[in-house]
């Protein structure tokens, strides 16, 4: 689909158009673009759905066609599977349309996308600033792996823009953040972050996996690159691994060159599954936004709950910041219970609807106790310093009925004997 196709029209970065009765206003602008945006008007063989081009290499009719291709002329086509695939390219164009980006690059996983982008933007002797609540594997990559090659880093407190300004060095090349963060849903002031970095000619990278393009489009706010673990909300069905980077064409070209060298390509079947998932993205996110808001409000009022981390609540420290530029607050709620490690485990075991698993963003609700999953090998004292208390629960809300999920949470709080 060309950018002139009315079905691919981008929603304004400001208020969304008024919704038709029955449509959630915050997501209505994305309902059509989730289905059609970024697609060609016609697929091969007149297929309605995206064909999976399952090939490792591509043939040329004759040497004249090969020469024309090498000269950058003639029809758009592929040469070898590591450099491109028609199915994958459609996915990239779909994400670019949703993120209001000039280009996008798909990868085999979210981590492959993040690491390739950092490789592309930071060289030996460079300096990277990260907020200390960035995804722990991203922090580990910069702090341990890149440190071997002379890359230095500074960690700044969550959403602390004054700390960010104090952390710049002459060799600072990149600032990495999330919006919202995992698992505490911190929301940095994205427009101000972009302005601070732009004044210093430092690139910005935001992991927007939690938000999705439906709730937040960071590029509209001045960010240079946005990354998604497409494994999560974009695919939405917990059945595929993929990642994607979107942004300005020159930056995406640098990232694509890294992918060509390192080989972390997105498989065409995986690309098809993510593309299919995006068709229902706006509907799923609308349901998850509404359900999670209702769940967060219930938990916030519950006597057995100490604290709820959800930016849709006025009690969240970044509620006022987030509501300035977010269209919804997402499908993950994190909360702290009264009690201890054992009683929290009993609560999770008593839940009947969500499954115990890592990851998030799918149609099924998932739950985890970070102290027993993501941070199991870390000593409890160190976990506490990071805020990963024994009583912390991360709940990824699916598309089940909110009333059923709330009823299940209430019965688990009672049957697990969580103290008041």
pLDDT at position 14 is: 40
The boundaries of every CATH 3.90.1150.10 domain in the chain are 281-415
- Six-digit token string for 416: 């697990």
Residues 163-175: pLDDT tens digits?
A: 999 999 999 999 9
Residue 371 has pLDDT above 50, yes or no: yes
Please give, one letter per residue, the 3-state secondary structure of 210-268: CCHHHHCCHHHHCCCEEEEECCCCCCCCCCCCCEEEEECHHHHHHHHHHHHHHCCCCCH
The boundaries of every CATH 3.40.640.10 domain in the chain are 43-278
The fold adopted by the segment(s) 43-278 is 3.40.640
pLDDT at position 76 is: 85
Mean pLDDT on 217-238 = 98
Domain 281-415 sits in CATH 3.40.50.720: no
What is the chain's length? 420
Residue 376 has pLDDT above 80, yes or no: no
Q: Which of 131-140, 239-248, 369-378 has the lowest mean pLDDT?
A: 369-378
Residues 318-338: pLDDT tens digits?
A: 999 999 999 999 999 999 999
pLDDT at position 136 is: 87
Mean pLDDT on 146-169 = 97
Q: Which of 39-53, 336-350, 393-407 has the lowest mean pLDDT?
A: 39-53
Residues 6+ apart with CB under 8 A from 20: 28
Asked whether the beta carbons of 370 and 394 are under 8 A apart, the reply is: yes
pLDDT at position 307 is: 97
Residue 20 has pLDDT above 80, yes or no: no
**What is the average pLDDT score of the chain?**
91
pLDDT at position 27 is: 60
In the structure, what pLDDT confidence band is assigned to residue 383 with cuts at 50, 70 and 90? low
pLDDT at position 13 is: 39
217 vs 98: CA distance, rounded Å: 8
In the structure, what pLDDT confidence band is assigned to residue 9 with cuts at 50, 70 and 90? very low
pLDDT at position 148 is: 95
Mean pLDDT on 87-99 = 97
Q: Which of 6-20, 182-196, 217-231 has the lowest mean pLDDT?
A: 6-20
Residue 25 has pLDDT above 80, yes or no: no
């Amino acid at each position: 689909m060309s950018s002139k196709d009315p079905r691919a029209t981008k929603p304004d970065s400001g208020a969304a158009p008024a919704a038709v009765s029955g449509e959630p206003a915050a997501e209505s602008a994305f309902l059509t673009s989730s289905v059609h945006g970024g697609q060609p008007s016609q697929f091969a063989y007149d297929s309605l759905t995206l064909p999976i081009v399952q090939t490792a290499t591509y043939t040329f009719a004759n040497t004249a066609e090969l020469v024309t291709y090498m000269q950058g002329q003639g029809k758009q086509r592929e040469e070898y599977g590591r450099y491109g695939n028609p199915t994958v390219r459609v996915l990239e164009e779909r994400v670019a349309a949703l993120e209001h980006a000039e280009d996008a690059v798909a990868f085999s996983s979210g981590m492959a996308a993040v690491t390739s982008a950092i490789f592309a933007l930071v060289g030996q002797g460079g300096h990277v600033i990260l907020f200390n609540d960035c995804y722990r594997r991203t922090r580990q990559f910069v702090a341990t792996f890149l440190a071997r090659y002379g890359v230095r880093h500074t960690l700044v407190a969550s959403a602390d823009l004054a700390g960010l300004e104090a952390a710049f060095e002459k060799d600072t090349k990149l600032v990495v953040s999330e919006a919202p963060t995992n698992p505490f849903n911190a929301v940095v002031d994205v427009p101000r972050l972009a302005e601070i970095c732009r004044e210093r000619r430092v690139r910005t990278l935001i992991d927007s996996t939690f938000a999705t393009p439906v709730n937040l489009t960071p590029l509209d706010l001045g960010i240079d690159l946005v990354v998604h673990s497409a494994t999560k909300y974009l695919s939405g069905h917990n059945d595929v691994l993929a990642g994607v980077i979107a942004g300005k064409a020159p930056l995406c070209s640098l990232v694509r060159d890294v992918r060509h060298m390192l080989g972390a390509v997105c498989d065409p079947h995986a690309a098809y599954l993510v593309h299919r998932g995006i068709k229902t993205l706006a509907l799923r996110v609308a349901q998850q936004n509404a359900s999670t808001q209702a769940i967060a409000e219930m938990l916030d009022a519950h006597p057995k709950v100490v604290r709820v981390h959800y930016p849709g609540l006025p009690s969240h420290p970044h509620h006022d910041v987030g509501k300035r530029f977010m269209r919804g607050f997402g499908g993950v709620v994190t909360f702290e219970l009264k009690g201890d490690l054992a009683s929290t485990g009993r609560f999770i075991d008593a839940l009947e609807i969500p499954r115990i698993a890592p990851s998030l963003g799918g149609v099924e609700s998932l739950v985890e106790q970070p102290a027993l999953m993501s941070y199991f090998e870390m000593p409890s004292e160190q976990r506490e310093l990071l805020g990963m208390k024994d009583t912390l629960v991360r709940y990824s809300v699916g598309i089940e009925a909110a009333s059923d999920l709330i009823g299940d949470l209430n019965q688990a709080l009672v049957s697990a004997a969580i103290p008041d």
